[in-house]
């Protein structure tokens, strides 16, 4: 079956605004993250229903360690709870889970939970959910270079294609659509290498409020864009003189 090109094959999301969502309700920030997990589970299925094949979310950045200790430990605990609560459902829904990021700094329990999530879902094909955890775009470029050098690649063998094969997201095509919720207009070190030609959509919607309608609005914005990848659109090239 031919792919509908107006639907992005790969959507990447910075799920921002959990803290403010909680604050508006006079709740501790943790409750915003908790509501954020519930929003994510709905968005995964909505993306799959609309033909998105890859969804990648920024769950914890390399810089998030700078947050207050109780928020960091709350987020770590939340991930463990989320895996327990939702892994069965996601597995049944055909979701393949892949974790990207530096696993060295996380606890043995969390590493084991990630391994279980990946192992349980590895044969699923409906949609691939990549969870960026302890991830940073610059970290990714550095680790890719280190592995390429360790493999003995010579300078002239280091090409964009070869380096892409060492990046943490090597299992997925580059994102077609990058969404950031929460009103900030920046990339914040997410998938720096991979978003070179992504369409960017920023919305004021706080992540826990991001529902199917907000998703459809972002997908409609994407469908209205003209992707040129550095080329000139048909009919806009100079007409040769004479
Ligand atoms: C940004 O909001 C959000 C985060 C740093 C964490 C997002 C994580 C989740 C939704 C949980 C993911 C869990 C799994 C299992 C994938 P913020 O805290 O920066 O919000 P603010 O800008 O309003 O303060």
Kindly write down the DSSP assignment for every residue of 216-241, as one continuous string.
HHHHHHHHT----TTS--TT-SPPPP
- Residue owning tokens 């033909």: 51
Instruction: Write phi, then psi, for 166 (nearest 5 degrees).
Output: -105, -5
Cβ atoms of 98 and 170 closer than 8 Å: no
10-225 fold: Undecaprenyl pyrophosphate synthetase (3.40.1180)
Of the candidates 106, 54, 49, which has an alpha carbon nearest to the alpha carbon of residue 83?
106
Does residue 175 have its Cβ closer than 6 Å to ligand 1?
Answer: no
**For the chain, domain boundaries:** 10-225
Task: Compute and round to an integer the Cα radius of gyration of the chain.
Answer: 19
pLDDT tens digits, 13-62: 999 999 999 999 999 999 999 999 999 999 999 999 999 999 999 999 98
pLDDT tens digits, 131-159: 999 999 999 999 999 999 999 999 999 99
Query: Is 6 annotated as ligand-binding?
Result: no
Distance CA 225, CA 90 (A): 31
Q: How far apart are the first and last CA of the chain?
A: 45
In this structure, which residue's CA is closest to atom 10 in ligand 1? Answer: 36
CA of 151 to the centre of ligand 1 (A): 36
Distance CA 117, CA 105 (A): 18
Q: Which residues are catalytic?
A: 16, 64
pLDDT tens digits, 167-215: 999 999 999 999 999 999 999 999 999 999 999 999 999 999 999 999 9
Does residue 182 have its Cβ closer than 6 Å to ligand 1?
Answer: yes
Does residue 64 have its Cβ closer than 6 Å to ligand 1?
Answer: yes
Does 96 have pLDDT greater than 70?
Answer: yes
CA of 14 to the centre of ligand 1 (A): 8
């Amino acid at each position: 079956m031919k792919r509908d090109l107006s639907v992005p094959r790969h959507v990447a999301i910075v799920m921002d605004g959990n803290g403010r969502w909680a604050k508006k309700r006079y709740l501790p920030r943790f409750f915003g993250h908790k509501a954020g997990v519930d929003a994510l589970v709905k968005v995964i299925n909505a993306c799959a229903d609309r033909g998105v094949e890859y969804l990648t979310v920024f769950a914890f950045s390399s810089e998030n360690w700078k947050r207050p200790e109780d928020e960091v430990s709350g987020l770590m605990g939340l991930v463990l709870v989320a895996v327990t609560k939702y892994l069965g459902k996601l597995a049944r829904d055909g979701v393949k889970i892949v974790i990207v990021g530096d696993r060295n700094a996380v606890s043995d329990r969390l590493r084991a939970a990630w391994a279980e999530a990946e192992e349980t879902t590895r044969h699923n094909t409906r949609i691939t959910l990549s969870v960026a955890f302890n991830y940073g775009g610059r970290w990714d470029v550095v680790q890719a270079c280190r592995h390429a050098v360790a493999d003995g690649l010579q300078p002239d063998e280091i090409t964009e294609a070869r380096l892409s094969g060492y990046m943490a997201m090597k299992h997925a095509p580059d994102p077609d659509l990058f969404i950031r919720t929460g009103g900030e207009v920046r990339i914040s070190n997410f998938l720096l290498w991979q978003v070179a030609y992504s369409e960017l959509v920023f919305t004021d919607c706080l992540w826990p409020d991001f529902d199917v309608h907000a998703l459809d609005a972002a997908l409609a914005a994407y469908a209205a864009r003209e992707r040129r990848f550095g080329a000139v659109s048909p009919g806009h090239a100079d007409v040769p003189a004479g």
